[in-house]
């Protein structure tokens, strides 16, 4: 007999109340305990095969009987709704985990910045006292590269200035005589 995960649903419920907010994968009022036990095996089985459910039931059950329960109680759609709910819960948990990760990364970034700032302050103090900084060429190049990158990201590059000339004509040609074109250099002089 194949082992299946522990059912998510409580099989020991003595009474089934008619609830408007019942989940589709919960036991139905018209569903027997045995049919519901078979459904939970189907729901939690890796391949969701009726033959596997029939073989896993204790005592065993015929495949046609399990197929009848499946059709009568709409197992495929109920299992699909269960899968959708599980996916939704998974996505919600992933969103919470991403938010927590972002908070951790921000805290680490701030800590790294404070350590870096303290190190730079020490270097600045040594420089002001004309003491050797004891930086390798690679370390000096790294500081130069990081400073340049930071400067470029905080100060946007100058864009080329481009103007578009828009001419708006109001009225019709019959109303106004055609104006004489004005050369652009004369407009700048006015």
Q: Evaluate whether residue 126 is within a structural domain.
A: yes
- Burial class for 155, CB neighbours closer than 10 Å (0-12, 13-18, 19+): exposed
pLDDT per residue as tens digits for the range 26-36 = 999 999 999 99
Q: Evaluate whether residue 25 is within a structural domain.
A: no
| CA pair distance 146, 20, nearest whole angstrom | 61
What the block records as the tokens of 6 is 């522990």
Q: Evaluate whether residue 187 is within a structural domain.
A: no
Domain span including residue 137: 78-145
Q: Are 35 and 66 in contact (CB under 8 A)?
A: no
| CA pair distance 53, 47, nearest whole angstrom | 10
| CA pair distance 177, 29, nearest whole angstrom | 88
What the block records as the tokens of 55 is 């073989």
pLDDT per residue as tens digits for the range 80-127 = 999 999 999 999 999 999 999 989 988 888 888 888 888 888 888 988
Q: Examine the pLDDT at 11 and tell me if it is beyond 80.
A: no
CA–centroid distance for 187 within its chain: 56
- Which is higher by pLDDT, 148 or 29? 29
Q: Evaluate whether residue 4 is within a structural domain.
A: no
Q: Evaluate whether residue 125 is within a structural domain.
A: yes
The predicted pLDDT at position 1 comes to: 40
Q: Evaluate whether residue 32 is within a structural domain.
A: no
Q: Give percent of the chain with pLDDT exceeding 90.
A: 44
The predicted pLDDT at position 65 comes to: 94
Q: Evaluate whether residue 120 is within a structural domain.
A: yes
CA–centroid distance for 132 within its chain: 49
Cβ-proximal residues to 7 (8 Å cutoff; 6+ apart), any chain = 40, 41, 43, 44
| Angle between helices 33-44 and 63-72 in degrees, nearest 10 | 90
Q: Examine the pLDDT at 37 and tell me if it is beyond 80.
A: yes
Number of domains in the chain: 1
Q: Give percent of the chain with pLDDT exceeding 70.
A: 75
Q: Examine the pLDDT at 47 and tell me if it is beyond 70.
A: yes
Q: Are 79 and 25 in contact (CB under 8 A)?
A: yes
The predicted pLDDT at position 36 comes to: 96
pTM summary value: 0.53
Q: Evaluate whether residue 21 is within a structural domain.
A: no
User: Shortest CA distance to 84 belongs to which of 23, 34, 141?
Assistant: 23
């Amino acid at each position: 007999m194949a082992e299946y995960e522990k059912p998510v649903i409580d099989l020991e419920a003595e009474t089934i109340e008619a609830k408007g907010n019942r989940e589709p994968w919960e036991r139905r009022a018209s569903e027997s305990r045995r049919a519901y036990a078979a459904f939970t095996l189907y729901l939690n089985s890796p391949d969701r095969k009726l033959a596997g459910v029939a073989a896993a039931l204790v005592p065993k059950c015929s495949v046609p009987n399990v197929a009848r329960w499946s059709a009568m109680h709409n197992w495929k759609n109920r299992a699909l709704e269960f899968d959708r709910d599980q996916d939704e819960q998974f996505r919600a948990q992933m969103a919470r985990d991403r938010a927590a990760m972002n908070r951790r990364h921000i805290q680490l970034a701030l800590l790294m910045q404070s350590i870096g700032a303290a190190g730079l302050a020490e270097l600045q103090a040594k420089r002001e006292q004309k003491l050797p900084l004891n930086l390798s060429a690679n370390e000096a190049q790294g500081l130069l590269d990081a400073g340049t990158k930071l400067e470029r990201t905080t100060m946007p590059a100058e864009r080329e200035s481009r103007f578009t000339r828009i001419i708006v004509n109001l009225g019709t040609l019959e109303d106004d005589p055609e104006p004489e074109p004005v050369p652009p250099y004369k407009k700048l002089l006015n």
